[in-house]
């Protein structure tokens, strides 16, 4: 099969629960790839705040020309396009753009089967943890969110830390632990806000509350410091949401910098590199817990070799945001995710008059 066409459109999707004053919405780019037999595959990529216009421009002006007329095999296409685009950078904007094409090609590759079955479904369900982008919440708002997670039956939850005053982080973590009880797993995410000294102090202060892992405690590309931190604390370290290439994941794992890896299927460039990262992690005995985007990452988790957990940020999945038409590709009940009955990736994006091929959010 050969690729005969590609269409991309973008929209800005308001978040019902903003991720902060600077992140009131996410940007979604939908990609349709057509083959010479008439079939069309639907994929996507995503940015939470910045970069959507640059991604769209790369797809329109560089990727389309290199894609159309070539083969439709996802791995072959991914390697060819990544080499073609490397002058613009090996990761970041380039891999986020590649994800749009790669997921569309995987949608086609699956045919009438669902993604987890094509990959080799290993389990019928996977554990989901409740997550919140909640550093800007008041303490009472955070407690109310934790109560919603308990009512929804999540066996694990994650909250943001990294406030200027460590005692405030301690107070908030203690309050959430009190709400969720001793048996629910509790993770914290610093979003790269600490340096090595502050991370050691903060983890020591928060460890008594039974942390399952600490996520992104340091700048993501400071691998030596990550390795030093992991060796000096007793709480597992989770990394990967801000890592873009297989080589960067290799370096993290080889350095012994983390206990958990968290690739984001859009940021790493799609399903093709995601699967390569998962296999790499398996050789180090490190589990993969996908970052965000449960509508697709949940399907991948059902096929991962080591038991994963899937993240669901409150009211932020594509289904919850109203950009997918039912039936949805995954369903989540009582803290468990299952795949729906669909073909391919099951991404049936809702039409909108605001779709515009050049400007996120429409004209």
- Which of the residues are catalytic? 160, 291
Helix (H) or strand (E) holding 13: strand 3-14
Helix (H) or strand (E) holding 165: none
The rounded distance, in Å, linking the Cα atoms of 65 and 61 is 7
DSSP 24-87: SEEEEEEEEEEETTS-EEEEEEEESSS-HHHHHHHIIIIIHHHHTTSB--HHHHHHHHHHHHGG
- Cβ-based neighbours of 236, under 8 Å, separated by 6 or more: 212, 213, 214, 259, 260
- In terms of C-beta density within 10 A (0-12 exposed, 13-18 middle, 19 or more buried), how is residue 354 classed? middle
Torsion angle (degrees, nearest 10) of CA 46, 13, 242, 97? 20
For the chain, the first-to-last Cα distance in angstroms comes to 35
Please give the radius of gyration of the chain, using alpha carbons only, rounded to the nearest integer: 20
The rounded distance, in Å, linking the Cα atoms of 105 and 308 is 25
Q: Using CA of residue 193, residue 157, residue 265, residue 40, what is the dihedral sign?
A: negative
Paired residues of 311 in beta bridges: 129
**Ordered alpha helix ranges (H), 238-352:** 246-254, 271-283, 294-301
The rounded distance, in Å, linking the Cα atoms of 41 and 37 is 12
CA nearest 288: which of 328, 321, 315, 260?
Answer: 260
Residue carrying the six token digits 């970041």: 92
Contact 188, 173 (CB under 8 A): yes
Residue carrying the six token digits 């780019």: 29
């Amino acid at each position: 099969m050969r690729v005969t066409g590609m269409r991309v459109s973008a929209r800005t999707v308001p978040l019902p629960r903003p991720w902060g004053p600077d992140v009131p919405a996410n940007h979604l780019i939908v990609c349709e790839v057509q083959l010479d037999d008439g079939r069309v595959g639907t994929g996507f990529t995503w940015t939470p705040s910045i970069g959507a216009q640059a991604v769209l421009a790369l797809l329109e002006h560089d990727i389309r020309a290199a894609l159309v007329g070539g083969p439709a095999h996802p791995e072959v296409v991914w390697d060819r396009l990544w080499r073609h685009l490397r002058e613009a950078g090996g990761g970041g904007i380039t891999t986020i753009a590649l994800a749009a094409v790669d997921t569309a090609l995987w949608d086609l590759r699956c045919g009438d089967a669902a993604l987890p079955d094509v990959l080799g479904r290993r389990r019928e369900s996977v554990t989901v943890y409740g997550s919140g982008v909640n550093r800007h919440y008041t303490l009472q708002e955070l407690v109310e969110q934790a109560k919603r997670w308990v009512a929804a039956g999540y066996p694990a939850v994650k909250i943001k830390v990294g406030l200027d005053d460590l005692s405030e982080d301690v107070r908030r973590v203690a309050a959430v632990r009190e709400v969720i009880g001793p048996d629910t797993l509790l993770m914290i995410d610093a979003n790269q806000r600490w340096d090595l000294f502050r991370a050691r102090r903060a983890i020591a202060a928060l460890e008594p509350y039974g942390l399952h892992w600490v996520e992104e405690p340091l700048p993501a590309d400071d691998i030596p410091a990550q390795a030093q931190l992991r060796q000096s604390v007793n709480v597992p370290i989770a990394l990967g949401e801000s890592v873009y290439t297989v080589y960067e994941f290799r370096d993290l794992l080889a350095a012994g910098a983390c206990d958990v890896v968290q690739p984001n299927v859009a940021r790493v460039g799609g399903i093709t590199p995601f699967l390569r990262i998962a296999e790499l992690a398996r050789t180090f005995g490190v589990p993969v817990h996908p970052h965000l985007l449960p509508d697709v990452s949940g399907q991948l988790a059902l096929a991962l070799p080591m038991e994963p957990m899937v993240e669901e940020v409150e009211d932020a999945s594509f289904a919850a945001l109203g950009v997918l038409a039912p039936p949805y590709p995954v369903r989540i009940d009582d803290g468990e995710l299952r795949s729906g009955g669909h073909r391919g990736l099951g991404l049936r994006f809702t039409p909108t008059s605001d779709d515009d091929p050049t400007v996120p959010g429409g004209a």
